[in-house]
Amino acid sequence: MMHPDEVNKRFPRGKKVCGIVCQHRHFGLFVEIPGTDILGLVDTTGYKSTDSYPEIGSEIEVTILQFRDSENPLKRHFRLGVNSAIFSTDI
């Protein structure tokens, strides 16, 4: 597991990275960030349906907003931002 200091150094707030959409949920998209074992979450509250989400497996550009560390590996994650143009329908 990558140390939090290393994560914050490699992925500072505001950094743009490419990731792969791996899951759709009603509250957001989970995105794999290459080179880490940490998933990112794009909050999609306000979008009409998951039908507007980018396809699973597609590559999208995301912006690192925050890294949330936890001793539980399942709770460690990035909060991510995206350009709303990636969604096929408007809010």
Please indicate, yes or no, if residue 91 is contained in any of the structural domains: no
Average pLDDT of 21-30?
93
Average pLDDT of 22-29?
92
Calculate the alpha carbon distances from 89 to 1, 10, 11, 33, 57 in Å.
Answer: 37, 33, 29, 25, 19
Domain containing 55 equals 4-86
Count of domains observed in the chain: 1
pLDDT at residue 81, as a whole number: 94
The pair of three-digit structure tokens given for residue 55, joined into one six-digit string? 């396809």
Q: DSSP for 21-48?
A: EEEEETTEEEEE-TTSS-EEEEE-TT-S
pLDDT at residue 74, as a whole number: 83
Average pLDDT of 22-43?
93
* Residue-wise pLDDT tens digits, 34-86: 889 999 999 988 776 778 889 999 999 999 999 999 988 889 999 999 987 77
Please indicate, yes or no, if residue 22 is contained in any of the structural domains: yes
Average pLDDT of 17-41?
94
Average pLDDT of 4-32?
94
pLDDT at residue 48, as a whole number: 64
CATH number at residue 77: 2.40.50.140
pTM of the predicted protein model? 0.85
Please indicate, yes or no, if residue 49 is contained in any of the structural domains: yes
